[in-house]
A and B are shown apart, each in its own frame.
Chain A
Amino acid sequence: MIINPYSFGVAYDPDAQAFFTASGLTGATNLNAVNQLVLDLKAASIWTKMKAIYPFVGGTAALHKWNLKDPQDLDAAFRLVFNGGWTHSSTGALPNGTNGYADTFFKTDDVTTTGLQSYGVYLRTNPTFAVSTTEASTGLRNGIYWIRVTNSLPTTSNIRSGNRNENISGVTGLIGHSRSTATQWYVNNNSTILVGTISASTLTSETIRTFSLGAYNDAGIISNFSTQQLAFAFYGEPLLSSEMTNYYTAIQTFQTSLSRQV
């Protein structure tokens, strides 16, 4: 007997399939891109270190809200809740810079109480600034850890871990951060990895303020709204420098397969 393997459809990774089932995502390009992303992150030993991965694929709020790591429609699963003005499309989720933000329900202490963690965003567009805004536009931020850009440094992003701020050139593509030990951090600036040191005394636990995407969230007071289109976001356990590099490669492959890479 000859069995035609194609009659059984495409077999996806079980975690990718769970995401497809929960979200209702369709389209071969979308499904294959997400599936390959999951496979690449597992091969790079990054998958198990992540608490939340937002691939922003599908083009609607209903599809962009899902956490690939835990695709349940629950706050406890860090599913996004969009507030205010957003424009969703096949290239990602664009906050309007006026009142648009997304709550992740995620606090630093959901990873660790030591402050050791990783987080990052993939931003497709340059920021624009409201007239009265002196410091604005962020990809991902709570009160202690953030990625932001300022209009005084319009081509520079600022990453903060505890009390340490670091400026990097560039405001689009992958901007990521990992606090891997008490005294060492890494920063993704697309394919470039920066390494620095930090005082162990500045490690910070955060039990109240949640990360928001698209705005600054200071214990529920939302401000400094962003105008940069998001095409990926993540946070999780600390990553090594080599893992940060592999993460960039996997994300860029994912974005390229969706024809939205920068």
Chain B
Amino acid sequence: MIQVGLLTESQKDSLVGQLYDEDSYFNAIQDANDDWIISIEEMEFCVNPEFQWVKDLPLIDYKPKPEPPIEE
């Protein structure tokens, strides 16, 4: 099972439009329970000193939302 970092609403808001390394942006998404999450990679590879707290986020199993149908 893939694990992801669980965010609060305010933590999610603080990551919008922010870099976790020189050329990569955070992309918080909602899981099947509508909880905001970021990936293990964003946590592990974050070198932005302002957001080192992401390394301490609680980990949860990733339960993805059902994907929307792709138009044919």
With both beta carbons as reference points, the residue of chain A lying nearest to B24 in the complex is identified as: A82
In the complex, which of the residues B23, B62, B67, B71 contacts A61, with contact meaning CB atoms closer than 8 Å? B23
B42 touches A224 (CB 8 A): no
Contact with A along B32-72 (1 / 0, CB 8 A): 10000111111000000000000000000011111111111
Q: Report the minimum CB–CB distance from A105 to chain B (whole Å).
A: 14
Complex formed: what's the CA distance from A97 to B29 in Å?
12
Interface size on B, residues (CB 8 A): 29
In the complex, which of the residues B2, B22, B25, B69 contacts A98, with contact meaning CB atoms closer than 8 Å? B2
Asked if A100 lies at the interface with its beta carbon under 8 angstroms from chain B, I say yes
With both beta carbons as reference points, the residue of chain B lying nearest to A144 in the complex is identified as: B71
Chain B residues in 8 Å Cβ range of A143: 71
Chain B residues in 8 Å Cβ range of A222: 27
A135 touches B23 (CB 8 A): no
Complex formed: what's the CA distance from A85 to B2 in Å?
12
Complex formed: what's the CA distance from A133 to B41 in Å?
20
Asked if A165 lies at the interface with its beta carbon under 8 angstroms from chain B, I say yes
Q: Report the minimum CB–CB distance from B19 to chain A (whole Å).
A: 10
Chain A residues in 8 Å Cβ range of B32: 132
Complex formed: what's the CA distance from A130 to B64 in Å?
7
With both beta carbons as reference points, the residue of chain B lying nearest to A128 in the complex is identified as: B2
Chain A residues in 8 Å Cβ range of B4: 98
Q: Could you tell me which residues of chain A, from 51 to 97, have a CB within 8 Å of some CB in chain B?
A: 60-62, 65, 81-87, 96-97
A100 touches B39 (CB 8 A): yes
Complex formed: what's the CA distance from A50 to B25 in Å?
27
A62-B22, A65-B23, A99-B27 known; A133-B42 Cβ under 8 A: no
Chain A residues in 8 Å Cβ range of B72: 165
Q: Report the minimum CB–CB distance from B45 to chain A (whole Å).
A: 8
Q: Report the minimum CB–CB distance from B47 to chain A (whole Å).
A: 11
B64 touches A133 (CB 8 A): yes
**How many pairs of A and B residues are in contact by the CB < 8 Å rule?**
88
A134 touches B71 (CB 8 A): no
A85-B42, A165-B72 known; A132-B23 Cβ under 8 A: no
Interface centre among B26, B70, B72 (most CB of A within 10 A): B70
Chain B residues in 8 Å Cβ range of A101: 27
Complex formed: what's the CA distance from A106 to B2 in Å?
31
B70 touches A135 (CB 8 A): yes
Chain B residues in 8 Å Cβ range of A174: none
Interface residue ranges, A against B (CB under 8 Å): 60-62, 65, 81-87, 96-101, 130-136, 143, 146, 148, 165, 216, 218, 221-224
Interface residue ranges, B against A (CB under 8 Å): 2, 4, 21-29, 32, 37-42, 62-72
Known: A98-B4, A98-B64, A99-B29. 14 other contacts (CB 8 A): A81-B25, A82-B24, A82-B25, A83-B24, A83-B25, A84-B26, A85-B39, A98-B39, A100-B27, A131-B63, A134-B66, A135-B67, A146-B70, A165-B72
14 contacts between A and B (CB under 8 A): A61-B21, A61-B22, A83-B26, A97-B2, A98-B39, A100-B39, A130-B64, A132-B32, A132-B63, A134-B67, A135-B67, A221-B68, A222-B27, A223-B67
